[in-house]
Amino acid sequence: MFTRFTRSALLGSLGAVVASATLLAAPASAQSEPRTAVVRYGDLDLNSSDGVAALDSRVRRAVANVCGVGDSQTLTEIAQSRKCARTAMNEANGRVQFAVAAARSKQGYASNDVTVKTPAR
């Protein structure tokens, strides 16, 4: 059942992370400590494609925010931001997949948020 999810549906779920976070817009490469954002999805129905798409959108915004995507000025900063975003999305994907699977299987889940963070250095 879960293998039918599309990558875009899962990424949509990750978007929630960014929507709930208010972080300063600075490239991740300029940060000495990891930046994080918590994406809340308690208000979403993850049994519906619209709910999963909304979560995906929130997570994508959170990833862009914590990694400074769009804020980079130099080619090095752009490359670092993109690498950060790929890593953060990959890490958040598992959490989102679990949340969607738990919602669709009608099993309770103790948390209603996903944390997105910059990779450890």
d(CA 20, CA 121) in angstroms, rounded, equals 25
Domain residue spans of the chain: 2-117
Neighbour tally for 115: CB within 10 Å: 17
pLDDT digits (tens, 9 = 90+) for 54-76: 999 999 999 999 998 888 689 99
List C-alpha distances in Å: 118 to 43, 63, 95, 104, 110: 25, 8, 15, 29, 24
Task: Say if residues 10 and 57 touch (Cβ distance below 8 Å).
Answer: no
pLDDT of the residue at 111: 67
Please give the model's pTM, rounded to 2 decimal places: 0.66
pLDDT digits (tens, 9 = 90+) for 25-47: 344 444 567 889 999 999 999 99
3-class secondary structure, 63: helix
